[in-house]
Amino acid sequence: MDYIPHSKEDIRYILDVLGLESMDELFLDIPNSLKLNRELDIPEGITEIELVRILKEIASTNITSDRFLWFLGGGCYRHFVPQALNEISHRQEFYTSYTPYQAELSQGTLQALFEFQTLLCDLLRMDVTNDSMYDGATASAEAMFMACDITKRSRVLVARSLHPEYRMVLKTYAEPRGIEIIEIPYDKVSGMLDIGSIEEFIQSSACIIFQNPNFFGIIENPELFEPLVHKTGALLIPVIVEPFSLALIKPPGEYGADIACGDLQSFGLGMRFGGPSAGFLATKIDYIRRLPGRIVGMTNDMEGKRAYAFVLQTREQHIRRASATSNICSNEALCAIKVAIYLSLIGEEGLKDIALTCYQLANTVRKATGSYFSGLTFNELLIPLNTSSKDVRDVLRERGILVLDISKWYPEFKDTILATFTEMNKEDEVNRFIEEIRPYVRKFSV
């Protein structure tokens, strides 16, 4: 993006119009502790060639996934992004239109979003999805609102094994609405949801929100608690953070999920320092009017030709005015389109192949290192250590290997690390990983 400088006069003029003394007043809402509170460490009045040199030097200290053996996951996954995806998604018809305001003029965009919805419904085996959400965390929060609205209840159960940052977003959304969140623990042995706790609290709760596979990479068995949840009139809400899992494990629609939500970063969006991503929100046909955002439908135009239109957007501000209950109509159209292109490029077989590779790599390592939990592993593995997580993480980093220390979110895991495996990890990398971690593993099998 181009940098458009303002002269001192420009700045003074804008501040006068706004009735402000200084630029700092524009940022009063930001807590001081988050501000830099000093000038950037770049000399003034240098030439462009000098500036580029300095910036490149600073940028070279970034850790990039190409220069390390990368076993980081925990909600942001390193999958391959084919060049064809960029070629197609960078077409100006997709790339330059922020969101289709004159929707019906943008038939190509609408068709791509329609395909997105169709692909997602196929993967999830759910009746309907909207045309995307901002990310998995906000999609979970919207799912929580839907559940409270549908059940007219204001207490929700949230798994401790749900991504900690997702839980923070849920908390942020819940508080102003007076929604009470009860944390459901994981079983200490299997790492799966503690069913006894669900049983204890599900009565008069709106829903249970859980991640599958969960934050520890353990595959849940929702069929074990689905009857228990539905018996009380509560809703079953799985959150899928690594959507490649859908190729191998039972999809939400087949175990009675009422709402399914999650993140699509894995599907061609890349890591990009953590965003932008896209989220999804799918539900049963009965709840279609409770979906926030927009739904694209296929219809016929006046001449009887196939055409696409926004067919339902029942909660949005431009439809419901003052009584709107949602305002996400700009959504993540471009990222959603990229997801549709990505899934079309890899196809059903590609999806399965990649998912299987992830699964096999993680489970090969599991055989060697053991797993903290007895539950089944998809592509992330919590490895028990004989020493502190931080120490092992730091030692491995010095040797060019990156793993995730989750003890900052889970103090109970101060001697474990989370390692994630994708199709980007070559077999010799994985072997090297096993060799390097071997001395620190608590119970080394094989």
User: What crossing angle do the helices spanning 333-369 and 427-437 adopt, rounded to 10°?
Assistant: 50
Nearer to other proteins, 91 or 289 (CB): 289
The answer to the question of residue 320 lying near other proteins (CB under 8 A) is: yes
Please identify which residue in 33, 47, 61, 323 interacts with other proteins, judged by CB under 8 A: 323
* CA-to-CA dists, residue 336 to 154, 155, 280, angstroms: 31, 31, 9
Report, in Å, the least distance between residue 236 CB and other proteins. Answer: 22
Q: Which of 110/198 has CB closer to other proteins?
A: 110
> Given the DSSP bridges, would you call strands 401-402 and 416-420 parallel, antiparallel or unpaired?
unpaired
Count residues binding other proteins (CB under 8 A).
7
The token duo for 441 is 């593993």
Considering the complex, what minimum distance in angstroms separates the CB of residue 314 from other proteins? 5
Asked whether position 360 contacts other proteins by CB under 8 A, the answer is no
Phi, psi of 15 (to 5 degrees): -60, -40
Residue 321 binds other proteins (CB under 8 A): yes
3-state percent helix, strand, coil for the chain, nearest multiple of 5: 45, 15, 40
Among positions 307, 319, 395, 434, the unique one binding other proteins when judged by CB under 8 A: 319
| Residue 321 or 443 having the CB closest to other proteins | 321
Question: In the complex with other proteins, which residue's Cβ is closer, 28 or 285?
Answer: 285
CB of 326 to other proteins, least distance (A): 11
Give min distance, CB of 287 to other proteins, in A: 12
The residue (of 160 and 315) whose beta carbon lies closer to other proteins is 315
Residue 407 forms beta bridges with which residues?
none
Return the CA Rg of the chain: 24
Backbone dihedral angles phi then psi of residue 128, each to the nearest 5 degrees:
-140, 150
* Distance in Å, CB of 437 to other proteins, minimum: 56
Enumerate the β-bridge partners of residue 380: 420
Q: Which is nearer to other proteins, 315 or 393 (CB)?
A: 315
H-helix segments, 125-260: 136-151, 164-174, 195-201, 226-231
Could you say whether residue 177 binds other proteins (CB under 8 A)?
A: no
Should residue 289 be labelled a site residue for other proteins when binding is judged by CB under 8 A? yes
Among 50-58, 164-172, 180-188, 320-328, the segment contacting other proteins (CB under 8 A): 320-328
Task: Compute the least distance from the CB of residue 323 to other proteins, in Å.
Answer: 5
Pairing of the two strands 279-283 and 128-129: antiparallel
Min CB(324)–other proteins separation in Å = 9
**Nearest CB to other proteins, comparing residues 8 and 321:** 321
Helix (H, G, I), strand (E, B) or coil at 423: coil
Which helix or strand (DSSP H or E) is residue 263 part of? strand 259-263
Dihedral angle, C-alpha 67, 68, 69, 72, nearest 10 °: -120
37 is an interface residue for other proteins by CB under 8 A: no
Q: How many Cβ atoms sit within 10 Å of the Cβ of residue 21? A: 9
HSE, side-chain direction, 13 A CA sphere, residue 243: 28
Q: Is 195 in the site for other proteins (CB under 8 A)?
A: no
Work out how close the CB of 148 gets to other proteins at its nearest, in angstroms, rounded to a whole number. Answer: 16
Q: Which is nearer to other proteins, 1 or 322 (CB)?
A: 322
Q: Which residue has the tokens 């030439």?
A: 47
Sign of CA dihedral 218, 223, 225, 226: positive
Q: Closest separation between CB of residue 319 and other proteins, Å?
A: 5
Task: Compare residues 62 and 323 and give the one whose CB is closer to other proteins.
Answer: 323
Window 299-318: residues binding other proteins (CB under 8 A): 314-315
Closest distance to other proteins from the beta carbon of 111 (Å): 22
The answer to whether the beta carbons of residues 294 and 278 sit under 8 Å apart is no
Long-range contacts formed by 48-54: CB under 8 A, 24+ apart? none
The residues that touch other proteins, with contacts defined as CB under 8 A, are 289, 314-315, 319-321, 323
